Amino acid sequence: MGFKTRTVGVVGLGHVGAHVAFNLGMMGVADTVKLCDPNEKKMRSEQQDCRDAVMFMPHHVRYEAASYEDLADCDIIINALGKVAILTTHNRDTEMEYTVAQTSDMVPKVMKGGFKGIFLNITNPCDVVTDLIQKLSGLPRNHVFGTGTGLDTSRLVNVIAQETGLDYNSFTAYMIGEHGNAQMAAWSLVRFGGQPLDELAKVDKRFDFDRAELQKKAIMGGWVTYSGKQCTEYGISSCAVTMANLVFHDAKKIMPASAYLDGQYGETGIYCGIPCVIGADGIEHVMEYTLTDQEKKDFAGCCETIRQNIKKAESIWKK
């Protein structure tokens, strides 16, 4: 009796892509992982290292080297093309010249092979490159999405947990907007066991914390990681692999991702970090919460930043 294997392609095997490939096996998400990188020597090295780890993984995983065209039979392709050395400016937009050029070269070759699956983007600037992938691939908008503020939300949850002493899974909080310096914490949506933060802050001083300071810490979390090892690896790879797992299991879980906005929050025509339902059909629903007037204004500012960067990206790949 035959069975359906789960095949994931990983494009770009730097610090992030290599960890994605490893976690796909170690977290038991994929049966076959296709490794793809412009540097064939690097690709072969990562293939060997991953194969050496398979004996310790929860189930057998095949690690295969692949060209762009060889990714046609993948269920999901995770794009991690990048050049982390460019990030010395502490601004993810700095990567744009390199990542837009690399992505605009990669996507047509993948599509030429006949790919019809889901594209999950990590590459920065995440919202801009996700938009680029959708335009170049012609895939349905809900079948192209990015990690977006999924990782930033984890960083926000981290700082709130440290501040309150509560477990990470005992409350909900979301970073929304750009995966970049323009992102924002939606404080009106924070819930502790269902109770709003504003209510708790009135009766328990643990929750009456400096929100601006915690938002700053969440935004800067990635740069704290980067400062000591010139990359980020564990958090972002775990975020991406979790999203792939939600697709494979049709989980229909609400999680922040870079999703296409089509009128939600008054915004149209861009990819942006927002809580959404992720399942077998990719982004199955964008959650539209009630924000405060100030949050609406701040979110609109985030979207405008993304919109301007999309224009910059178009000037690069349309040359």
Q: Which residues have a catalytic role annotated? A: 179
Neighbour count for residue 283 (Cβ, 10 Å) = 23
Closest CA to 66 of 34, 25, 38: 34
Distance CA(245)–CA(255), nearest Å, equals 12
**SS3 track for 220-256:** HHHHHHHHHHCCCCHHHHHHHHHHHHHHHCCCCEEEE
106-137 as b/e: b if 16+ CB within 10 A: bbeebbeeebebbbbbbbbbbbbbbbbbbbbb
Residues written for the chain: 319
Q: What phi-psi label fits residue 26: left (phi over 0), alpha (psi between -120 and 50 degrees) or beta?
A: alpha
- Helix H or strand E segment including 136: helix 126-137
Q: DSSP label at 177?
A: B
Distance CA(140)–CA(134), nearest Å, equals 7
CA angle 121, 125, 127 (to 5 degrees): 60
Pairing of strands 32-36, 7-11: parallel
